[in-house]
């Protein structure tokens, strides 16, 4: 039998809960803007990253007045990974959420979908993400003169043997790729950490602080988040995808959950970088 993890003290649990609240807060702030105007969100995240770098310089150099204030504020949110000269957890959290969004704009067809729904005059911008889900129709949010296919078949672009990507496929790719970091870090990692610390009793392996209960909670919450996001994007439940597609999504999510349970690296960066390419494989 594996030894039970030592029960965490109340202060340690409170620190974890406070840190993870920022994960949920980021999701509440970023997801609506993702559906509203993704290019603007990507620009805002880049500015926020630059601002965090500036604050870290201020903290490290202990500049008069501001340096002490920044140090005091961040002191309550650090862990053993911030034992060095530079605090990295806030950088990695922002990068874990933002990098998939930055990268997804370079995927075939996605930039066109994002640009179309960002500039559309529709009342509800979320409908622009799912406007291509009606077969054979352009969708009410398509700009004038736009075709029902984001990529023309003559380009030969696409995944696998597909010569073109329909607007519905591009919309799905946009949601899955762009929000992969938000789901696995903002929801999955948060649930795994909080459930594992508060309710976890069975370690994932001998000597580990990660628990089976936390890992299962992280995987389940990530899958639940995908269902909610597909519904919010107007794709319905379970998103109008085939059973095999969902099985592949489940396998990728389980793999990310197990990686979070055993890795000693910075999971805020590692998990999105692992999860995103595996989700792209699901889209083939």
Separation CA 14–CA 32 (nearest Å)? 28
As given in the structure block, the two tokens for residue 65 are 């007045």
Tokens 């628990």 label which residue? 211
Predicted confidence (pLDDT) per residue in 49-79, tens digit: 999 999 989 988 888 888 888 888 887 777 7
Q: Is the pTM of this model over 0.85?
A: no
Predicted confidence (pLDDT) per residue in 232-260, tens digit: 888 776 656 788 999 999 999 999 999 99
Torsion, CA 163, CA 165, CA 166, CA 168, rounded to 10: 150
Predicted confidence (pLDDT) per residue in 165-181, tens digit: 345 777 888 899 999 99
Burial code of 59-88, b = ≥16 C-beta within 10 A, e = fewer? beeeeeeebeebeeebeeeeeeeeeeeebb
Separation CA 51–CA 57 (nearest Å)? 10
Residues with Cβ < 8 Å from 32, sequence gap 6 or more? none
pLDDT at 231 over 80: yes
Predicted confidence (pLDDT) per residue in 106-119, tens digit: 887 676 666 655 55
- Calculate what percentage of the chain has a pLDDT beyond 70: 71
Q: Give the residue among 161, 208, 198, 160 at the shortest CA–CA distance from 5.
A: 208
Task: Yes or no: say if 274 and 281 are a contact pair by the CB < 8 Å rule.
Answer: no
């Amino acid at each position: 039998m594996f030894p039970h993890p030592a029960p965490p003290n109340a202060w340690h649990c409170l620190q974890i809960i406070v840190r993870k609240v920022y994960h949920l807060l980021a999701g509440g702030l970023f997801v609506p803007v993702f559906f509203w105007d993704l290019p603007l969100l990507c620009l805002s995240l880049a500015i926020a990253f630059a601002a965090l770098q500036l604050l870290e310089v201020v903290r490290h150099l202990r500049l008069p007045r501001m340096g002490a204030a920044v140090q005091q504020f961040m002191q309550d949110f650090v862990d053993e990974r911030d034992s060095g000269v530079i605090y990295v957890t806030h950088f990695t959290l922002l990068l874990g959420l933002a990098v998939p969004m930055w990268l997804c704009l370079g995927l075939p067809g996605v930039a066109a979908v994002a640009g179309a729904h960002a500039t559309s005059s529709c009342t509800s911008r979320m409908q622009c993400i799912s406007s291509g889900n009606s077969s054979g129709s352009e969708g009410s949010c398509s700009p004038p003169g736009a075709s029902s296919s984001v990529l023309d078949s003559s380009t030969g672009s696409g995944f696998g043997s597909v010569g073109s990507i329909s607007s519905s496929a591009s919309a799905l790719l946009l949601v899955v790729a762009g929000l992969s970091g938000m789901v696995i870090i903002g929801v999955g990692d948060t649930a795994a950490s909080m459930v594992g610390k508060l309710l976890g009793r069975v370690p994932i392996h001998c000597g580990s602080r990660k628990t089976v209960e936390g890992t299962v909670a992280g995987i389940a919450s990530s899958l639940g988040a995908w269902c909610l996001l597909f519904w919010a994007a107007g794709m319905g439940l379970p998103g109008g995808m085939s059973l095999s597609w969902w099985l592949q999504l489940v396998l990728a999510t389980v793999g990310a959950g197990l990686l979070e349970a055993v890795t000693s690296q910075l999971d805020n960066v590692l998990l999105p970088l692992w999860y995103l390419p595996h989700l792209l494989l699901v889209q083939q």
